[in-house]
Structure 1
Amino acid sequence: MSQAEFSSMIIGHQDFLRQLALKLTKSNNDSDDLMQETLFKALKNREKFQEGTNIKGWLYTIMKNTFINAYRKRKNQNTFIDESENKYFINMRETEKSVSTDSIVDHKYVMKQVNSIDKTYLETFMMYYNGYKYEEISEILDIPLGTVKSRIFLARRKMMDKLKDYR
């Protein structure tokens, strides 16, 4: 099949693609972009299309995958665009909250409860908390790897028990 024949076959499904793009994006501008990207990918990968197969289904798959990939990319960017007139960029991270008296008291209470845990468990847990790997803790404290894992597990459990009313 020649390039011209393939192009005319794709153009024949342009209305279908436009409706699908609009249904997926719910925006005229985004649907035009999605349609253009789909047509570009279809023309670029013309050799992958096998004659006699359903061109409409092939184009549908390209469009759907392109839309999903774009969605995932936008989702992972962590930046949202305000659609108001000024087009401000909003960073989703919260600013640090000011310290209030209650949070100081709560912090002291939490630290008191954590420090009341047996030192062998707490020492192992704090090393893990500070970024040491299980193997490193095992070597430094000269204890078996299984002991390291169980101490960290038990330290977590003891902390949760002591702070269950706090949650």
Structure 2
Amino acid sequence: MTALEFSYQVGTFSKFLKPFALRLTRDGDDANDLVQDTLVKAFTNREKYSDGTNLKAWLFTIMKNTFITQYQRMVRRNTFIDTTDNLHYINSSESIQLNGAERSFMNEDISLAMRNTEEMYRIPFLMYFEGFKYHEIAEELDLPIGTVKNRIHIARKTLKSHLSMYA
């Protein structure tokens, strides 16, 4: 099909495009824009049209796809983004409801990690955790204060490695 024949046939079918465009857009100006975009795409992609196929259906498909693309762009553009100064409220903990399940899992993991820590490191760590001072732990366990500090440090590293999933 020559360019002149193609232009003539597109011109004859263009009168059917306006009602379809009105049905899609529900606005006269938007419908005119959609018809114009459809015709521009049809002329620029004339080589993609196969002779012998339904030109009217091809034009309607172009229009429908153009409308869908424009609608998706409009939705993305009109997506609400809160630009207020109180953005911290959106992520505040006041709006979060906790059911305790996460805490239960964490407590189980902590208990397991504590059981897997050697006793010589676990006891000074637990005493320190309960509020004892280094020198009180050293006196109670009859150890040098440097050894107490070292064992507590090793216990922390061990627990940290066992509980790395919570980092």
TM-score bracket, shorter-length normalisation: 0.5 to 0.7
Structure 1 counterpart of 2:82: 93
Q: Residues 98, 51 of structure 1: CA spacing in aligned structure 2 closer, same or farther, 3 A cutoff?
A: closer
CA displacement at 1:2 relative to structure 2? 1.6
Structure 1 counterpart of 2:23: 23
CA displacement at 1:78 relative to structure 2? 3.3
Q: Residues 113, 64 of structure 1: CA spacing in aligned structure 2 closer, same or farther, 3 A cutoff?
A: closer
CA displacement at 1:114 relative to structure 2? 6.3
TM-score, with structure 1 as normaliser? 0.54
Give the residue type in structure 2 aligned to 1:59: L
CA–CA separation in structure 1 for the residues paired with 2:101 and 2:57: 62
Q: Residues 3, 113 of structure 1: CA spacing in aligned structure 2 closer, same or farther, 3 A cutoff?
A: closer
Give the residue type in structure 2 aligned to 1:53: T
* C-alpha RMSD of matched pairs (Å): 3.7
Q: Summarize the alignment of residues 1-167 of structure 1 with structure 2, pairs less than 5 Å apart.
A: 1-79=1-79, 92-93=81-82, 95=84, 96=86, 117-118=106-107, 120=109, 141=161
The structure having more radius of gyration, on CA atoms, is 2
Question: Which string of whole-angstrom CA distances, capped at 9 and with x for unpartnered residues, describes residues 111-131 of structure 1?
Answer: x9966751737xxxxxxxxxx
CA–CA separation in structure 2 for the residues paired with 1:114 and 1:17: 58
Q: Residues 77, 54 of structure 1: CA spacing in aligned structure 2 closer, same or farther, 3 A cutoff?
A: same
Q: Which runs of 5+ in 1 are unaligned?
A: 80-90, 122-139, 153-167
CA–CA separation in structure 2 for the residues paired with 1:113 and 1:75: 38
Q: Residues 119, 59 of structure 1: CA spacing in aligned structure 2 closer, same or farther, 3 A cutoff?
A: same
CA–CA separation in structure 1 for the residues paired with 2:77 and 2:63: 21
CA displacement at 1:45 relative to structure 2? 0.8
Q: Residues 115, 142 of structure 1: CA spacing in aligned structure 2 closer, same or farther, 3 A cutoff?
A: closer
Number of residue equivalences = 112
Comparing both structures, which one devotes a greater share of its residues to helix? 2
CA–CA separation in structure 2 for the residues paired with 1:21 and 1:44: 20
TM-score, with structure 2 as normaliser? 0.54
